[in-house]
Amino acid sequence: MNKVKNKRLIFSILACIVFISIGLAIAYSLNWFSIGADVASQQRLTIPNGYILSNTYLQLVNESSTPTIVTATDIRTDAQKRDTQRKADLNNLKSAIDEFSKQTIDSKTKGLPVSDGWIATKDIAKANDSLAETLLPTKVMTNIPCDPQNTAKDCTSGITYQYWRHDYSGIGGTNKEYSLYTKLESPTATDLATMNTGNAKMNAKAKTYGMNYRVGN
């Protein structure tokens, strides 16, 4: 009799192990565990601009509609497009400043506009607008560009481009040298290396504002 009971007990244990194994296999096949991991990631990791990071994708949160799935590649591509625009804007500013310098080399500005710091797009009282004040009237440039992510009116606040003449207080450079800066979202090693060109003190000051890309003379 005991032998029969033992056999039944062993059979019951083996049956339980089989059912548990089948249940685990079904759970994995339905991605129940990966779904849980995604939810945990979403609760832990929130990144700027309304995106939530999961294990495999970036999800754009929109409270008024169904969430839109945006791949990490899409985000990188958009950032790279904006960076391309930033570089083009700085090169256009450089060309305009160089042309202005040729036209006004004997003027009181010694050929270069005074420092702006942050660059406003129009000549506005009490704003950082020396480039707009000098380049637009001489028509070496028809529009002063603003960072593609800056939405402030006339680019008078927030992160945008910077212009510094190297005779700025404490820099120790001359009024014939200048630098233009921007903050790239997805800089390459080559981009970052531009911050090692020009005036070291000027670059150090620009870095305190988050700038990581430079062009200038």
Q: How confident is the model at residue 6 (pLDDT cuts 50, 70, 90)?
A: low
Q: What is the pLDDT of residue 40?
A: 41
**Tell me, what DSSP letter sits at residue 120?**
P
**Which two three-digit tokens encode residue 156?**
């008078």
Contact 131, 163 (CB under 8 A): yes
- Name the more confident of 62 and 7: 7
**What's the rounded Cα separation, in Å, for the pair 206 and 217?**
16
Q: How confident is the model at residue 50 (pLDDT cuts 50, 70, 90)?
A: very low
Compute the mean pLDDT over every residue in the chain, rounded to the nearest whole number.
78
Averaged pLDDT for residues 146-171: 91
Q: What is the pLDDT of residue 22?
A: 73
Q: What is the pLDDT of residue 185?
A: 95
Q: What is the pLDDT of residue 130?
A: 85
Is the pLDDT at 198 greater than 60? The verdict is: yes
**What's the rounded Cα separation, in Å, for the pair 214 and 204?**
12
Q: How confident is the model at residue 43 (pLDDT cuts 50, 70, 90)?
A: very low
Answering whether pTM is above 0.85, one says no
**What's the rounded Cα separation, in Å, for the pair 212 and 28?**
45
